[in-house]
Structure 1
Amino acid sequence: MSGAHLPLMVWLSPSFPVGAFAYSHGLEWAHEAGDLTDAATLRDWLDALVAHGSLHNDLVLFASAWRACGQGDDAALAEIAELALALANSGERRLETVTQGNAFLTATRAAWPCAALDRLRAAWTGDIAYPVAVAAAASGHDVPLRPALEAYGLGFLANLISAAVRLGIVGQTDGQKITAALVPALHDAAARAENATLDDLGGCALRSDIASLRHETQYTRLFRS
């Protein structure tokens, strides 16, 4: 149990081959539109994603998939995998989650094989959303749910803050300050998701959803989402 965090450090590292660096989750359009201009606005935006937006839903899906894998419930696992794709509310959000999810599944099945990953692939033969893929790996390698949720959430935020630094919204020091400031919110989000069910899915980060849709037709872009 004491080494359970080590796989998470590998899987959610920027060096793990899922291509997370290519996505801004709509931050690029929000910056161009004037929503994100400094550290304060970026922190508020990300805090909303943690508590009320896409990360909240990702964590609920993660917890549900982790439990389904552990219980050997293929029907539930297939339902979760399908629902995770349906919840992607723009073409770019779907691209973002399935590109990373499929890449994660390929890499982990090759380097970190386990029965849960094979079970996921057998239960659902279509594209795999990123939180579902990571959850299956965590369950299959006996990584406890709470630290897995927290690590996934931190990886999500770290990637968006990295995108914000590259966009020039904040510098590296402010980016680290925002990360540290949002750790309590991540703890709370993981605690809520740990016992959540699919009935707890939902969100109200409407401006983030609009940013994702608008980014699809943004004229100049650094990121794929």
Structure 2
Amino acid sequence: MTGPDPSPLQLFAWLSPAFPVGAFAYSHGLESAVDEGLVQDAASVEAWLGDLLRHGSARQDAVLAAEAWRRAPAGDAGALAELNDLALALAPSRERRLETGGTGRAFADAIRASWPEAHCPALPRGEDVAYPVAFGAAAGTAGLPLRASLEALALGVVGNLVSAAVRLGPIGQTDGQRVTAALLPEARRLGAFAAASTLDDLGACALRSDVAALRHETLYSRLFRS
């Protein structure tokens, strides 16, 4: 018998739209930004998502995922619970809290049921788990490379929100692929930064995105849950 294959190919499955976390139901406030005309074409979609990677929630999530990756192999339930509480507390709105907690719990459940080599028993059970904590714990438990995991996580954020932008209408599928390609260097940069980060590097300043997430809670007509 050989040990689990640490190939990053697992990341393609975990970050695929087919992985049952329900990410398609969330726009991370992008729907509100489209409704207000802040995002209306490929250039503004690219700028909006680029800010998330450089300064906003995607940057913060990458730091949290890196910390979960480091803590998971030790199996310290207290340390992971503390990190999870911090990650949930950092959500700046009710819907962001719902988004990260719901998708993270679904991710942990799917890993537990189908990917036993990545299941981290120390993760909280029966309650919400912040998505970056669930993802980082799975990658760390499976022995996947830290930087590759964080790059994939960052690109997964781009892919989910590009899909949301296409469904909302300001861009088509071809422009969506152009935006994704343009942001690939930012995803790589974020992966490199977060791989060397500590919790002292936490912090986000993408205020328009956070305000859009708050305003989405009272949006009259909407497609997405956030």
Query: TM-score category by the smaller chain?
Result: over 0.9
Mapped to 1, the partners of 2:200 and 2:10 lie a distance apart of 29
Deviations 1:7-33 (A, max 9, x none): 111111000000110000001000010
What amino acid does structure 1 have at the position aligned with 2:96?
R
The answer to whether 1:165 aligns with 2:134 is no
Mapped to 2, the partners of 1:153 and 1:85 lie a distance apart of 19
Which residue of 84, 105, 112 corresponds with 2:87?
84
- Check 1:2–1:70 CA distance in 2 against 1; reply closer, same or farther (3 A cut): closer
What amino acid does structure 2 have at the position aligned with 1:219?
Y
Which residue of 109, 120, 136 corresponds with 1:117?
120
Identity score, percent: 58
What amino acid does structure 1 have at the position aligned with 2:191?
A
Superposition CA RMSD, Å:
1.5
Counterpart of 1:144?
145
Mapped to 2, the partners of 1:67 and 1:60 lie a distance apart of 11
The answer to whether 1:65 aligns with 2:68 is yes
Counterpart of 1:37?
40
Mapped to 2, the partners of 1:28 and 1:12 lie a distance apart of 22
Q: Does the 8 A contact of 2:32 with 2:215 survive in 1?
A: yes
Mapped to 2, the partners of 1:223 and 1:90 lie a distance apart of 15
What amino acid does structure 1 have at the position aligned with 2:29?
G
What amino acid does structure 1 have at the position aligned with 2:19?
F
Counterpart of 1:185?
186
Q: Does the 8 A contact of 2:118 with 2:138 survive in 1?
A: no
TM-score (norm 1): 0.95
Mapped to 2, the partners of 1:8 and 1:22 lie a distance apart of 21
Partner SS state of residue 120, structure 2: helix
Unmatched segments (≥5 aa) in structure 1? none
Per-residue deviation, 1:35: 0.2
Per-residue deviation, 1:3: 5.7
User: Runs ≥4 in structure 1, deviation > 3 angstroms?
Assistant: 71-75
Per-residue deviation, 1:119: 1.5
Per-residue deviation, 1:74: 3.5
Per-residue deviation, 1:116: 5.1
The answer to whether 1:26 aligns with 2:25 is no
Q: Does the 8 A contact of 1:69 with 1:116 survive in 2?
A: no
TM-score (norm 2): 0.94
What amino acid does structure 2 have at the position aligned with 1:163?
A
Unmatched segments (≥5 aa) in structure 2? none
Q: How many residues align?
A: 223
Per-residue deviation, 1:57: 0.3
Q: Does the 8 A contact of 1:28 with 1:221 survive in 2?
A: yes
Counterpart of 1:98?
101
Q: Does the 8 A contact of 2:118 with 2:142 survive in 1?
A: no
- Check 1:2–1:178 CA distance in 2 against 1; reply closer, same or farther (3 A cut): farther
Q: Does the 8 A contact of 2:93 with 2:214 survive in 1?
A: yes
Partner SS state of residue 73, structure 2: helix
Mapped to 2, the partners of 1:84 and 1:3 lie a distance apart of 26
Mapped to 2, the partners of 1:116 and 1:198 lie a distance apart of 23
Partner SS state of residue 36, structure 1: coil
